[in-house]
Amino acid sequence: MGNLSSLMFPLLLVLLAVPLFLSARKQKRAMAEQQQLQSSLQPGDKVMTTSGLYGTVADASHDTTIDIEISEGVVTRWLRAAIREKVADTDEAVVEDSADETGEQPVGAAQVAEPLDHNAKK
């Protein structure tokens, strides 16, 4: 009986240590891949930030920051660490904001409200 209890501690240690070691290794590998991605970015790459913003790399010459064009002529500066992934160059379907021949908006088209006049008296 004493022999069984003396084997219990090393067995328990192995059962707890092995999964911790493997998860730490997996996390370290993921961090290395993320850093490699962030350091390999070039102008023209399509990227997504950790906050879900899509854009195109405009300038990648800085060590810690990167400039992303989020709309034509709109360039914002981000920390490189905020880049989550490169995205494939796809032609996404864009819903036209114009009425068809019948004068009706297409299904799913965005409706734009009139601007509010905050200076109007009620």
Q: What is the domain-level CATH number for residue 76?
A: 2.30.30
Residue 26 lies in a domain: yes
Mean pLDDT of the region 64-90: 90
Does residue 44 fall inside a structural domain? yes
Domain contains 105: no
If you search the block for the tokens 């109007």, which residue do you land on? 120
In a domain, 79, yes or no: yes
Beta strands 74-79; 65-71: pairing state: antiparallel
pLDDT averaged over every residue in the chain:
80
pLDDT of residue 29: 93
Q: How many CB atoms lie within 10 A of CB 82?
A: 16
Domain for residue 71, yes or no? yes
Structural domain boundaries enclosing 15: 2-86
The answer to pTM > 0.75 is no
**Largest Cα–Cα distance in the chain?**
90
Q: What DSSP element (H or E) covers 23? A: helix 2-39
- pLDDT tens digits for 89-102? 655 444 444 445 55
Tell me, yes or no, whether 59 lies in a domain: yes
pLDDT digits (tens, 9 = 90+) for 11-57: 888 888 888 888 999 999 999 998 888 888 999 999 999 999 999 99
- The pLDDT score that the predictor gives to residue 72 is 92
Say which residues have a Cβ less than 8 Å from residue 64's Cβ, sequence separation at least 6.
Answer: 79, 80
When pLDDT is averaged across residues 53-70 and rounded to a whole number, the result is 93
Planar angle of CA 72, 79, 75, nearest 5 degrees: 15
Structural domains counted in the chain: 1
User: 6: part of which helix (H) or strand (E)?
Assistant: helix 2-39
Residue 9 lies in a domain: yes
Q: Is the pLDDT of residue 59 over 90?
A: yes
**Region 55-83: what's the mean pLDDT?**
93
In a domain, 121, yes or no: no
Q: Give the closest residue to 64 by CA, choosing from 44, 45, 29, 38.
A: 38
pLDDT score at 48: 93
